[in-house]
Amino acid sequence: MDKRVYLLTIVSFVVGMVELIIGGILDLVAASLDVSVGQAGLLITIFSLVFAISSPILLFLTARIERKKLTLITLFIFFLSNVLAVFSPVYSVLFISRIISAASASLLIVLCVTMASTIVEPQYRGRAIGIVNMGVSGSLVLGIPFGLMLGNAFGWRAPFIMIAILTLCSMAGVYFFMKQIKPGQGAVSIGQQLNTLKNSKVLLAHTTTFLVLAGHTTLYAYLTPFAQVTMGLEGLWISIVYLVFGVAAVSGGAIGGSSADLFGTKRTILSVIIIFVIAIIAVPFTTFFVPFFFFIMIIWGSMSWAITPPMQSYLIELSPKNSDILISLNNSSLHLGIAVGSFIGSIVVDRVSIEYNAIVGGVIIALGLVTALLATRRDTAASQ
């Protein structure tokens, strides 16, 4: 398999890390910029929302640009957004920097996935997508601990300095090692992009991604209080929980991609979701014995990101000529799922009990199994 896939994985990791890296240092940001913690939290909210809606728009606007050139331009904009964050004198400037970084990041993730699927042989496509998604999943699960460590040691601006430096390194890697890649198609309007959703299989696939990630985040967004309430874990143990989960999630991306190549995308999608439902529902029943909890959590963590590679590979199979669009919309579905899952989880925590977050999340993922079954029920490829 083409080694440049690993370069794209590094780029996706650097870009993806900026979304949640501020999560562990909201109190530091709030104190420094004289805003409430709630206002500081909006820096995460706005990032997720902009990320979800911007990639289809940017994909349309940049459809005719050669992919290596576009990647370098977008990386430079992403670099500038993080420099702006470093030197933000007030909250409003930092807020603007988050909007710019989210928009550029959304396009970069799509570019990394589509370029990875383009530069490898067809039989390695699922694996390549899985490896790139390891970078995305790794950045999302490791962003909080990285931000926490650097922020507490050197101040809240330090994580953005690190990302800016890593972005420059990524630009150098792309410039020297990536060849030119022609765009897959001409400019496609937003309406035409949304028209792909008229295909029921495509719509159901995106819905599956949305439901699976919403169900996952219903518990994952509250993993720290869950571990504290149900098992009394604190301090170092919480860090270990996140570390173990992060390793499992990153591994899941590779597992999902390899399984898609070996067993087919549809079989992998259905198998992953079934295991996912069982694992997340089992979580609250394992808290009586911490090693058992870790065992089930590893399965849950790996399945949480094993679904993305086969789903995106399946979408490419449905309509290769629209691969950029379909992957862009799928990433939007993923991030909308994260936002909705966090919201649903907050309701469960406030009005019922955090011990029920896993059950509610499992039910939502089970709905995703239904949509996945409907999406994969026939072999006929989409004509869109």
Domain extent, residue 164, equals 1-175
Distance of CA 369 to the CA centre of its chain: 20
What is the domain count for the chain? 2
CB within 8 Å of 109: residues ≥ 6 apart: 12, 15, 16, 55, 136, 331
Contact 9, 127 (CB under 8 A): no
pLDDT at 381: 41
DSSP structure string for 306-331: HSHHHHHHHHHHH-GGGHHHHHHHHH
Q: Is residue 195 part of a domain?
A: yes
Q: Is residue 180 part of a domain?
A: no
pLDDT at 191: 66
When pLDDT is cut at 50, 70 and 90, the band that residue 287 belongs to is very high
Q: Average the pLDDT over each of 49-53, 126-130, 358-362 and give the range with the smallest value.
A: 126-130
Statement to judge: residues 199 and 167 lie in one domain? no
Statement to judge: residues 267 and 365 lie in one domain? yes
Q: What is the DSSP letter of 4?
A: H
Locate 24 and state its tokens. 């562990």
Statement to judge: residues 215 and 293 lie in one domain? yes
pLDDT at 384: 38
Q: Is residue 183 part of a domain?
A: no
Last residue of a domain, one of 143, 175, 207: 175
Locate 309 and state its tokens. 């590679």
CATH number at residue 320: 1.20.1250.20
In the block, which residue shows the tokens 């940001």? 29
The whole-angstrom separation of Cα 198 and Cα 294 is: 42
Give the angle 220-277-266 at the CA atoms, nearest 5°: 115
Statement to judge: residues 111 and 161 lie in one domain? yes
Q: Is residue 214 part of a domain?
A: yes
Statement to judge: residues 237 and 164 lie in one domain? no
The pLDDT tens digits for 231-277 are: 988 767 877 887 788 788 878 888 888 888 888 888 899 999 999 99
Read off the pLDDT of each residue in 101-123 and give the average, rounded to a whole number.
Answer: 88
Statement to judge: residues 192 and 66 lie in one domain? no
Q: Is residue 182 part of a domain?
A: no
Statement to judge: residues 314 and 206 lie in one domain? yes
Query: What is the C-alpha radius of gyration for the chain, rounded to an integer number of angstroms?
Result: 20
Statement to judge: residues 158 and 14 lie in one domain? yes
Neighbouring C-beta atoms of residue 154, cutoff 10 Å: 12
pLDDT at 192: 62
Last residue of a domain, one of 175, 210, 225: 175
Statement to judge: residues 196 and 153 lie in one domain? no
Q: Is residue 165 part of a domain?
A: yes
> What is the amino acid identity at position 234?
E
DSSP structure string for 9-37: HHHHHHHHHTTTTTGGGHHHHHHHHT--H
Residue 187 has pLDDT above 60, yes or no: no
CB within 8 Å of 256: residues ≥ 6 apart: 130, 133, 268, 272, 305, 306, 307, 308, 309, 310
Q: Is residue 129 part of a domain?
A: yes
Locate 302 and state its tokens. 């790996």
pLDDT at 98: 94
Last residue of a domain, one of 145, 175, 205: 175
Locate 234 and state its tokens. 């604190």
Statement to judge: residues 84 and 203 lie in one domain? no
The pair phi, psi for residue 319, each rounded to 5°, is -155, 85
The whole-angstrom separation of Cα 260 and Cα 312 is: 10
The pLDDT tens digits for 15-74 are: 988 877 776 676 688 889 998 766 776 787 788 888 888 877 887 788 888 999 999 999
Statement to judge: residues 211 and 244 lie in one domain? yes
Residue 382 has pLDDT above 50, yes or no: no
Residue 183 has pLDDT above 80, yes or no: no
Statement to judge: residues 213 and 137 lie in one domain? no
Cα distances from 52 to residues 13, 55, 140, 317, 330, in angstroms, run 18, 7, 15, 23, 9
The whole-angstrom separation of Cα 318 and Cα 62 is: 23
Neighbouring C-beta atoms of residue 218, cutoff 10 Å: 31
